[in-house]
């Protein structure tokens, strides 16, 4: 008898291992990868839903800015200061109006008179509109925001329960949570990043920081010529033409932890 010949019991054990144990291990490994893939798909889906919410919040903030700009069209004090070429009066009235409408940033450009600003440039979701005289002729431009960067990321995180960060020109404007402020987050959907020693899944999207200029009026007359023809201050009208894309963009990154504390 050969010493290396397995016994019947040994052959039976080998047969059992090949027929039962090995397939069970293979099935277990396959189930593990399937469940992990399912978790990743669900996680990416949740981030996708959060991204849609954040995009809608940005669009709503931009619409709010346009609504605020429209409220300036009936302000007689601003129209009178512009018509009288009273620079100090224009700035004073702009400051008052900005507080009244909750503006975070206003830039008012009046043809032939100058540029006037109030608020902080660390604002997002800006809208841009034409400034017109009582005869609907263009005399300048308004750029306005009613949402700060901090307000936007805080609102996004509160609603989506997902961390949000907004950047402009590679500079982080605001981040919630703050621990993610200096973390490098690559562009893409469902990318893995590490924040303070924890694994996170992140997604990014771009939005126009500044809408394009509204269509120019056909008239090229100067503001002083318009004033001479109108004869009185009248009302300042704001056109509602805004755009969805601009030369400069802001980047929004959202992230969620992939493991428990």
How many C-beta atoms surround the C-beta of residue 260 within 10 A? 5
- pTM (predicted TM-score): 0.69
Block means of pLDDT (10 residues each) for the chain, 261 residues, are 56 59 59 48 70 90 91 82 93 94 93 93 88 84 92 92 88 88 84 83 81 42 30 30 45 74 36
Query: Which domains can be identified in the chain, with CATH numbers?
Result: 38-161+215-242 (3.30.450)
Q: What is the pLDDT of residue 196?
A: 83
- CB-based contacts of 89: which residues, under 8 Å, 6+ apart? 77, 80, 81
Q: What is the pLDDT of residue 203?
A: 85
The sheet that has 127-132: what strands, in order across it? 114-119, 105-110, 138-145, 127-132, 237-238
Q: What is the pLDDT of residue 37?
A: 44
Q: What is the pLDDT of residue 101?
A: 92
Going by C-alpha positions, the residue among 72, 135, 61 that lies closest to residue 108 is 72
Q: What is the pLDDT of residue 20?
A: 59
10 Å CB burial of residue 77 (0-12, 13-18, 19+) is middle
């Amino acid at each position: 008898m050969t010493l290396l010949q397995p016994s019947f019991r040994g052959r039976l054990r080998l047969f059992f291992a090949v027929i039962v144990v090995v397939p069970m291990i293979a099935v277990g490994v396959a189930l593990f990868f399937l469940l992990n893939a399912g978790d990743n798909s669900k996680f990416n889906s949740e981030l996708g839903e959060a991204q849609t919410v954040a995009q809608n919040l940005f669009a709503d903030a931009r619409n709010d800015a346009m609504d605020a700009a429209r409220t300036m069209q009936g302000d007689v004090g601003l129209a009178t200061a512009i018509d009288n070429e009273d620079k100090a009066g224009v700035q004073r009235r702009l400051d008052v109006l900005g507080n009244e409408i909750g503006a975070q940033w206003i830039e008012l450009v009046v043809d032939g008179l100058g540029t006037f600003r109030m608020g902080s440039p660390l604002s997002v979701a800006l809208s841009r509109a034409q400034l017109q005289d009582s005869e609907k002729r263009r005399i300048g431009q308004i750029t306005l925001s009613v949402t700060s960067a901090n307000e936007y990321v805080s609102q996004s995180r509160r609603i989506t329960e997902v961390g949000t960060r907004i950047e402009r020109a590679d500079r982080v404007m605001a981040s919630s949570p703050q621990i993610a402020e200096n973390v490098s987050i690559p562009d893409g959907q469902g990318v893995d990043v590490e924040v303070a020693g924890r694994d996170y899944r992140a997604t990014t999207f771009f939005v126009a920081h500044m809408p394009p200029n509204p269509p120019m009026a056909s008239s090229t007359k100067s503001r002083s010529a318009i004033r001479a023809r109108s004869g009185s201050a009248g009302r300042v009208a704001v056109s509602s033409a805004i755009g969805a894309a601009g030369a400069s963009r802001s980047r929004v990154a959202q992230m969620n932890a992939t493991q428990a504390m």
